[in-house]
């Protein structure tokens, strides 16, 4: 079977790639576009390590085929910092030590960014529910939740 030719936007740049129908968006990001920030944890939509934003919606890149991305806009962790300028969430994750091994971190950051874009003033419960699809086996979540809440406050100008 010939590979499909897909044209999409990744982090604001027009990107073309060839892929097999079986390849997930995560496979394409990592293996074809060498954007390895999105991680494969479970490959079944349970862990959120591959979280990306597709046309404004937070999704698991492992639960979407690469060919489905035709014409869609994809945002990954690689587009989060502005050059050397970290996104406030990235800075706060460092300040709060909201990561240990780091495998879940890109997914948490992308998911938290998506939350704050919709809800700049979330409660702790809202943060915890929004991030329920992101699993971390190191931190116990508390530092992550605090980092997100602190970022939200800072971004609101608190």
Partner 1 sequence: MRYEAPESVEGAVALLGGGGPRGRVLAGGTDLLVQLRAGVVAPELVVDIKRIAETREIREADGMLVIGAAVSGAELGEHPVAKALWPGVVESAELIGSTQIQGRASLAGNLCNASPAADTVPALVAAAATCKIAGPDGVRRIPVEDVCTGPGQLSLGDGEFVVAFEFPKRPLRSADAYLRFIPRTEMDIAVVGAGVNLTFDDGGRCVAARVALGAVAPTVILVEEAGEALVGTTCDAAALQEMAAAASAACRPIDDKRGTVEYRTEVAGVLATRAAGIAAQRAKGSQ
Q: Is 4 in the site for partner 1 (CB under 8 A)?
A: yes
Identity of the residue, 109 or 131, whose beta carbon is nearer to partner 1 in the bound complex:
131
Q: What is the DSSP string of the chain?
A: -PPEEEEEEETTEEEEEEE-TT-BHHHIIIIIS--TTS--SSSSSSS-TTEEEETTEEEEGGGSBGGGGTT-EEE-GGGTSBTTB--HHHHHHHHTT--SS-SSHHHHHHHHHHHHHH-SS--HHHHHHHGGG---SSS-SHHHHHHHHHHHHHHTT-
Site residues (CB under 8 A) for partner 1, limited to 70-129: 70, 111, 114-115, 129
- The minimum distance between CB 70 and partner 1, in angstroms, equals 7
> Is residue 57 a contact point for partner 1 (CB under 8 A)?
yes
Smallest distance from partner 1 to CB 134, Å: 8
If one asks whether residue 17 binds partner 1 (CB under 8 A), the answer comes out as no
Residues that bind partner 1 (CB under 8 A): 1, 4, 20-22, 24, 43-45, 48, 51, 54, 57-60, 62-65, 67-68, 70, 111, 114-115, 129-134
């Amino acid at each position: 079977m010939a590979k499909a030719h897909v044209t999409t936007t990744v982090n604001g740049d027009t990107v073309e790639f060839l892929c097999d129908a079986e390849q997930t968006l995560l496979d394409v990001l990592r293996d074809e576009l060498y954007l390895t920030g999105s991680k494969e944890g479970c490959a079944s939509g349970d862990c959120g390590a591959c979280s990306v934003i597709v046309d404004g919606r937070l999704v698991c890149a492992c639960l979407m085929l690469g060919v489905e991305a035709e014409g869609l806009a994809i945002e990954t962790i690689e587009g989060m910092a502005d050059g050397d300028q970290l996104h406030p969430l990235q800075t706060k994750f460092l300040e709060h030590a909201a990561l240990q091994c780091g495998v879940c971190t890109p997914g948490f950051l992308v998911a938290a960014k998506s939350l704050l874009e919709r809800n700049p003033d979330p409660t702790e419960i809202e943060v915890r529910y929004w991030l329920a699809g992101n699993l971390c086996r190191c931190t116990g979540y508390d530092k992550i939740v605090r980092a997100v809440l602190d970022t939200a406050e800072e971004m609101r100008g608190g």
